Amino acid sequence: MTTSAILLYVDLWIVLCFYGYLLKVRKRIGFQLGMNISIVMGGMAALLSGVLLIIQFPFHFTFITMISTVAGLTVGAFFGLLFDYQTFVTGLTNGIIIGLMSPMIGTVIEMPTMFIIFLHGFFVFSLLTIFHSIKRS
């Protein structure tokens, strides 16, 4: 199962590059789109880190719940801090809730490969939607 570690690394770089892109264009983005961006990115970071880490290390449920919660919290908070104080609090709360839930999904799935492919397709689709709405605004 080295693929899940590589995928986690790739996702980390995707999130960092997207943060750098948003840092350049954040003047053009309104608060409504900013709130949606912080919710989507915090939730996806928590979900991906929880599912991929629990597939990699199935015997450490407690630590992985804490790690994925902290990941969702920090990513939601940093994406929210680009815009406003309210987007900051919304992204932080959403990251906490989804991060506490996500390792449970990782333990009950039957076909891990299919689920990971579906999750990354969903991640790329939401990123493309955000790019499209930034271009239109």
Partner 1 sequence: MLLIIFLFIWNLLDLSSVYWLFKKKHRLFDDRFTTTMGMAITMTSAFAFALYLKLLLPVDPSGFYLVPIIVGVCIGLLFGSFIQSPALLTGIYNGFMGSIMGMMFGAVLRNPALCNIPIDSATMIESNIVSLAIFTACCHALVSQFIRYSFKV
Q: Which residues bind partner 1 (CB under 8 A)?
A: 35, 58-59, 61-62, 65-66, 69, 73, 85-86, 88-90, 92-94, 96-97, 100-101, 104, 107-108
The residue length of the chain stands at 137
Pick 31 or 118: Cβ nearer partner 1: 31
Q: How many CB atoms lie within 10 A of CB 101?
A: 17
Quick one: 56 or 93, whose CB is closer to partner 1?
A: 93
Q: Kindly give the interhelix angle for 2-25 and 112-136, rounded to the nearest 10 degrees.
A: 10
Whichever of 4 and 68 has its CB closer to partner 1, that residue is 68
Nearer to partner 1, 13 or 59 (CB): 59
DSSP structure string for 38-71: HHHHHHHHHHHHHHHHHHH-TT-HHHHHHHHHHH
Burial (Cβ within 10 Å: 0-12, 13-18, ≥19) of residue 42: buried
